[in-house]
């Protein structure tokens, strides 16, 4: 079924460059609903980005002196990175715990994670007032080692390299580089171990960023355990994203997935929902402990208290129960519903810490401008474009070319 897959080395007589040029061209139909929606938004977003660099950040955002971080940090970076957590969880299961049955989703999850980091770290550049100094913490003697953001910045960079190494065998297979593939595959385990360690630290680090904003975040969302909460929730945030993305990929890229992997998907989703149940239980229990030890009962009977209850009961406890129930009954449809509810809950939680609960006591609240939302959509759609481009060309969802199996045997 991979007969149409173009492989550079198979094109006798044609150079790799010609192959790359041909691969750059779009494949398939142009006027799909996705293209019709995304192209105008991307073009419009680019125009807004030009205005932002020309007139300053204030020209297109609603940020203020009291609320210096808005949608681009709170949603694009903090929430986006939580959803990209699937990559470290899946690589942990496959390469460390040797749970081989999940092997078929490693590549697509790592690709998703890598692109998420690439684009959300890219979105960070839009938010930097003086982006030309972005290399300062990386080179030179400007190491602000006491800063959590310093740690997060370095970890973003290193983790992107680790993910690229994890994904690189797929690139080598695409280009038909047999020797390179062998070398790169040998580096996988090292990259995975390094990547998991980095992920643990920067997933929690994103929460630790807000530790110094002690007086600014609503007490229901602030505790010294924010880093641990962020880390634990990134496990089920990432896995819910894997379930959600898988259910879409299996429809959109149906033809690329082998019969065997189609059949496997059911077992994978059931297994993931089991892990989601466990990690959500740990998370819910942690939240409960913090709530009780913090003696927060008197905060509950307020509007923010109801909002907190909605997040905890409606978008943690309910999807957790759904995951558990549907795993027991084998109901894939219900698992998807639970995954979507969980994702809404993670978005709510991250926004509650970074935006909604941040300066909740101010008279004027921050609401993102429509232009900030368009730029966020631009980032998201561009990422999806690249994702589709890669999926259509590289052996990510489809099986590796035949020569890989020959070499392994």
Partner 1 sequence: MDLHRRDFLKVMCATGLTLATGTALNATPKNKYTPEFHGILYDSVRCKGCRGCEYDCADANGLPEPEPTKKIRGLRKTDENHRTVVNEHKTSKGLVYVKMQCMHCNEPACTAACLTQAMSKTKEGPVIWRGDKCMGCRYCMVSCPFDMPKFEYHSPNPKIQKCTMCYDTRVLKGELPACVENCPNEALMFGTRRELISEARRRIYEKPGEYVEQIYGEHEAGGSGWLYLSPVPFEELGMNTSLQNASYPALTKGFLYSVPSVFVLVPALLLGIQQATKKNHPNDDSDDE
Is 158 near partner 1 (CB under 8 A)? no
Residue 305, burial from CB neighbour count under 10 angstroms (0-12, 13-18, 19+): middle
DSSP assignment of 156-205, as one string? Answer: HHHHHHHHHHHHHHHHHHHHT-HHHHHHHHHTHHHHHHHHHHHHHHHHHH
CB 24 → partner 1: shortest distance, Å?
28
The one among 173, 245, 372, 399 contacting partner 1 by CB under 8 A:
399
Is 92 near partner 1 (CB under 8 A)? yes
CA-to-CA separations, 363 to 120, 360, 366, in angstroms, rounded = 30, 8, 10
Q: Which is nearer to partner 1, 91 or 249 (CB)?
A: 91
Is 352 near partner 1 (CB under 8 A)? no
User: Within 100-139, which residues bind partner 1 (CB under 8 A)?
Assistant: 100-101, 103-104, 127-131, 133-134, 136-137
CB 394 → partner 1: shortest distance, Å?
15
**Three-state SS at 217:** strand
Q: Which is nearer to partner 1, 60 or 312 (CB)?
A: 60
Is 288 near partner 1 (CB under 8 A)? no
Under 8 Å CB-to-CB from 16, ≥6 apart: which residues? 8, 175
* Cα-Cα-Cα-Cα dihedral sign, residues 296, 299, 300, 301: positive
| Exposure of 307 in the CB half-sphere (CA atoms within 13 A) | 16
CB 311 → partner 1: shortest distance, Å?
22
The one among 211, 340, 344, 386 contacting partner 1 by CB under 8 A:
211
CB 404 → partner 1: shortest distance, Å?
8
Binding string, residues 35-74; x marks residues near partner 1 by CB under 8 A: ------------------xxxxxxx-x-xxxx-xx-----
The one among 114, 119, 159, 210 contacting partner 1 by CB under 8 A:
210
The one among 39, 46, 50, 189 contacting partner 1 by CB under 8 A:
189
Identify how many contiguous H helices and E strands the chain contains and give both numbers.
17, 0
CA-to-CA separations, 404 to 13, 182, 407, in angstroms, rounded = 22, 9, 5
Is 299 near partner 1 (CB under 8 A)? no
Joined together, the tokens standing for residue 122 give 């890219």
Stretch that binds partner 1, among 108-116, 186-194, 278-286, 385-393 (CB under 8 A): 186-194
CB 52 → partner 1: shortest distance, Å?
9
The one among 168, 204, 233, 249 contacting partner 1 by CB under 8 A:
204
The length of the chain is 409
- Of 147, 158, 167, 149, nearest to 77 by C-alpha is 149
How many C-beta atoms surround the C-beta of residue 250 within 10 A?
16
Is 337 near partner 1 (CB under 8 A)? no
The one among 111, 151, 232, 322 contacting partner 1 by CB under 8 A:
151
The one among 98, 255, 301, 329 contacting partner 1 by CB under 8 A:
98
CA-to-CA separations, 302 to 192, 261, 284, 294, in angstroms, rounded = 45, 50, 21, 17
Say how many residues touch partner 1, by CB under 8 A: 70
Q: Which is nearer to partner 1, 304 or 341 (CB)?
A: 304
Residue with tokens 């406890």: 317
113-145 as b/e, with b when 16 or more CB fall inside 10 Å? Answer: bbbbbbbbbebbebbeeeeeeeeebeeeeeeee
Binding string, residues 166-185; x marks residues near partner 1 by CB under 8 A: ---x---------------x
**Contacting residues toward partner 1, per CB under 8 A:** 53-59, 61, 63-66, 68-69, 92, 95-101, 103-104, 127-131, 133-134, 136-137, 142-144, 146-151, 153, 169, 185, 188-189, 193-194, 196-197, 200-201, 204-205, 208-216, 224, 227, 399-400, 405, 408
């Amino acid at each position: 079924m991979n007969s149409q897959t173009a492989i550079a080395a198979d094109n006798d007589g044609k150079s790799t460059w010609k192959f790359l040029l041909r691969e750059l061209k779009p494949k398939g139909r142009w006027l799909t609903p996705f293209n019709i929606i995304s192209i105008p938004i991307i073009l419009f977003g680019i125009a807004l980005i030009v205005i932002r660099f020309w007139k300053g950040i204030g020209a297109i955002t609603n940020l203020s002196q009291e609320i210096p971080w808005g949608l681009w940090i709170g949603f694009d970076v903090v929430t986006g990175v939580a959803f990209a957590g699937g990559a470290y969880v899946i690589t942990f299961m496959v390469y460390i715990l040797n749970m081989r049955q999940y092997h078929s989703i490693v590549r697509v999850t790592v690709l998703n994670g890598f692109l998420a980091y690439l684009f959300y770290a890219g979105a960070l550049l839009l938010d930097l007032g003086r982006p030309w100094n972005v290399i300062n913490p990386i080179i030179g003697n400007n190491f602000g080692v006491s800063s959590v953001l310093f740690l997060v910045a370095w970890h973003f960079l290193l983790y992107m390299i680790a993910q690229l190494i994890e994904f690189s065998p797929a690139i080598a297979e695409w280009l038909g580089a047999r020797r390179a593939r062998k070398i790169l595959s040998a580096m996988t385990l090292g990259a995975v171990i390094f990547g998991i360690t980095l992920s643990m630290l920067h997933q929690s680090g994103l929460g630790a960023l807000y530790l110094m904003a002690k007086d600014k975040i609503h007490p229901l969302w602030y505790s010294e355990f924010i880093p641990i909460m962020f880390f634990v929730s990134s496990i089920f945030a990432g896995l819910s994203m894997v379930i959600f993305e898988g259910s879409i990929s299996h429809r959109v890229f149906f033809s690329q997935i082998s019969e065997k992997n189609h059949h496997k998907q059911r077992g994978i989703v059931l297994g993931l929902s089991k892990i989601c149940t466990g990690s959500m239980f740990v998370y819910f229990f942690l939240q409960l402990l913090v709530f009780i030890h913090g003696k927060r009962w008197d905060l509950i009977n307020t509007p923010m208290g109801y909002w907190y209850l909605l997040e905890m009961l409606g978008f943690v406890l309910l999807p957790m129960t759904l995951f558990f129930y549907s795993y027991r009954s084998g109901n894939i449809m219900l698992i998807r519903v639970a995954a979507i509810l969980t994702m809404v809950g993670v978005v709510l939680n991250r926004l509650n810490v970074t935006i909604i609960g941040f300066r909740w006591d101010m008279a004027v609240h921050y609401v993102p401008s429509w232009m900030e939302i368009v730029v966020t959509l631009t980032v998201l759609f561009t990422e999806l474009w690249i994702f589709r481009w890669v999926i259509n060309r590289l052996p990510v969802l489809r099986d590796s070319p035949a020569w890989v199996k020959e070499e392994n045997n």
